[in-house]
Structure formats: structure tokens, C-alpha cells
Structure 1
Amino acid sequence: MGTIVCQSCNSVIDHFEDEKVSILYSNCCECCDQDIMNEE
């Protein structure tokens, strides 16, 4: 079982099937939207 975690707010985005336990980091939609608005 794997988990995808937001690297900005540390919330769990999703779970995925994997042979071993792992954690992947990404950005959730809310954090991505905030980053885009801050750049403008």
C-alpha cells in the first residue's frame, strides 16, 4: 500500500496499490491553486 502526500500541507491525497509500503510526495489541488495565485 502506498500513500501520496501533499508536500506543502502534509495532507493525504490518495492511496495506491504497491507491493511495499511507500510514500510519494506531490501537491494537492488546493496548494497548487494557491501557488498559481501567488505567482500572479
Structure 2
Amino acid sequence: MCPRRPQFSEVDYPVLYDVPHPMVPAALKAAPDRPHLWRTLPTEL
């Protein structure tokens, strides 16, 4: 495991999920390009 580097605004999340929230794959499949994905990817679940 690599150490967190605050100078790069890295975050060490305490929980990892083995299955993504359904909104995440839906946004990935619906996005025609990266700019659209950044606008529509959920920021909160």
C-alpha cells in the first residue's frame, strides 16, 4: 500500500466496495465522452 500524499490532495478512504453503486456504471455507459462524464458522474451516493 502506498502512503497518502496530501500535497496531491490524495484521500485514503476507509471502506472499499466490491460492487459499485448502480449510478456509477450507468453514468459510465451513458457518457459519450469524458467531458460529459465529468458533468454527470455522481459526486454523492
TM more than 0.5: no
Give the number of the structure whose alpha-carbon radius of gyration is greater. 2
**Structure showing the higher helix proportion among its residues:** 2
Return the TM-score normalized by structure 1.
0.30
Bigger RCO (CA 8 Å, 6+ sep): 1
Please report the TM-score for the alignment, with normalisation by the length of structure 2: 0.27
